[in-house]
Amino acid sequence: DAIEKGEFPSYLAKEISEQPSVIRKIVQKYQNDKGELSLSPDITDSILDSDRIYIVAAGTSYNAGLVGKNLIETIARIPVEVHVSSEFAYHTPLIPKKPFFLFLSQSGETADTRQALALVNEWEYPSLSLTNVPGSAMTREASFNLSLHAGPEISVPSTKSYTAHIAVLAILSEVIGLKNGSLKEAFLIEELETVADAMQRILDHTEAIEQLSTEVLSYSSHAFYLGRGLDYFVALEAAMKLKGISYIPTEGFPAGEMKHGTIALIEEGTPVIGLVTEEPVARRTRNNLQETKTRGAHVLTIAMEGLDQPDDNVVIPKVNPLLSPLVSVIPTQLLAYYCGLHRGNDVDKPRNLAKSVTV
Ligand code: G6P
């Protein structure tokens, strides 16, 4: 145990810190001998033959799927739907003639996701699983498999498998986009390297994040993460992580939707963490944050360089906006980690949670 954790006090701390090297490893693993990102032709042909992609996943993998949808639709121009595994079997969407299914799962063993995959196999549709555990059930059950190459994820709260899922989905988007002509030029290798550097810069200076976590978050009775677009998707993952590790009830919410009910929950001092990484919606998100502030919220902001303002709490290095979730999620993982520690929780094994829900 002690050996595997090395210098780290927990697996969670270790796995959060491994993310820059996981991104670099993924880039390396998916390069062919010409140094281009590539996937096996069986996989690309099957995806190119489809008219709609379905992503089915649970938990953090589902949250990664939301970001994946954005990547695939933007880069490869194929419509994508994202479904929660436990809903899929009972509320099956109307499926077009040529669907392609992506099953995201760190463990490759989640029962609900496997059940959805079993249905898809019954219908004889092609599928690809993205898993982190070689030889896991879903690697055998899907038509194709891609590995996340994130290395063993021991801590119950998923961190590096979230960013690994997004990176592999970005690679899939670029490979398909180049093949179907939606993308003119490869761009991802360089951008993912920038992402890895940006992650590392955040991980090298965690003092301010730790301070916010212990001084502002850890004493609160509830909290919010707000964002729009990709920032909203990260808000969902950030909230899941904060509640799962600190036990503070937290909601991730589309910033513009607060006024329709949820803003009633804002009290004097309620922490509201705003994510601001997308230029087209940055001003709107800031307006929404201001609306909570005038109701008493203690607003904290995580903003990307270039969109930052002097009083932002965390400024993340600038990366390609499509990939911003890979970087903006890091401070939110750290906030959850420090908050859990400060509250005396077992951050590797939060109460009531299992690493893999196989029943
Ligand atoms: C459990 C874990 C989560 C994980 C979810 C899906 O609830 O605690 O961290 O996101 O299962 O797991 P999977 O292995 O399918 O990604």
Predicted complex ipTM exceeds 0.90? yes
Cα–ligand 1 centroid distance for 114 (angstroms): 12
| pLDDT for residue 78 | 98
Probe ligand 1: pick from 66, 356, 358, max atoms within 8 Å of CB?
356
**How do residues 230-268 score in pLDDT, each as one tens digit?**
999 999 999 999 999 999 999 999 999 999 999 999 999
CA of 356 to the centre of ligand 1 (A): 5
Q: Are the C-beta atoms of residues 97 and 125 closer than 8 Å to each other?
A: no
Amino acid in the structure at residue 21:
S
pTM higher than 0.90: yes
106 lines ligand 1 (CB under 6 A): yes
Is the CB of 60 within 6 Å of ligand 1? yes
State the distance from the centre of ligand 1 to the C-alpha of 59, rounded, in angstroms: 5
- Assess whether pLDDT exceeds 80 at residue 352: yes
Q: Is the pLDDT of residue 2 over 60?
A: no
* C-beta 208 within 6 A of ligand 1: no
Percentage with pLDDT > 70 across the chain: 99
Asked whether residue 75 carries a pLDDT value surpassing 70, the answer given is yes
What is the torsion angle, in degrees rounded to the nearest 10, for the CA atoms of residue 227, residue 191, residue 329 and residue 342? -140
Q: What percent of the chain has pLDDT over 90?
A: 97
pLDDT band (50, 70, 90) for residue 6: confident
CB neighbourhood size of 270 (10 A): 18
For residue 259, indicate whether it is catalytic: no
Cβ neighbours of residue 187 closer than 8 Å, sequence gap 6 or more: 174, 320
pLDDT exceeds cutoff 90 at 5: no
- Indicate whether 336 pLDDT > 70: yes
Ligand 1, atom nearest to 244 Cα: 8
How far apart are the CA of 150 and the centre of ligand 1, in A?
A: 15
- How far is C-alpha 308 from the geometric centre of its chain's CA atoms? 22
Report for 3-7, 9-13, 87-91: range of highest mean pLDDT: 9-13
User: Do the Cβ atoms of 267 and 294 come closer than 8 Å?
Assistant: no
